[in-house]
Amino acid sequence: MAKELKFEEALENLEKIIKELEEEDASLEDSIVLYKKGNELLKYCTTSLEQLEKEILIINEEK
């Protein structure tokens, strides 16, 4: 991602894309662009959550 998003921003953008795709008003070409952006955001969110989970596990081990 060009600009580093916060997790919450990425999730909000992903939710907007999902709504747009569900409305079915977009052309096929626009839907593909939205799908690609959504997929990138999903990967970003998943990676962020995995990293946070690892941090939490490390914190809990230190107790």
CB atoms within 10 A of CB 26: 14
Measure the CA–CA gap between 51 and 45, rounded to whole angstroms: 10
Two tokens at 35? 């799908």
Half-sphere exposure of 11 (CA within 13 A, CB side): 8
pLDDT score recorded for residue 62: 83
1-58 pLDDT, tens digit each? 546 889 999 999 999 999 999 987 889 999 999 999 999 999 999 999 999 999 999 9
pLDDT beyond 80 at 63: no
- What amino acid is encoded at 62 in this protein? E
Indicate the burial class of 17 (C-beta count within 10 angstroms; 0-12, 13-18, 19 or more).
buried
- What pTM, to 2 d.p., does this model score? 0.81
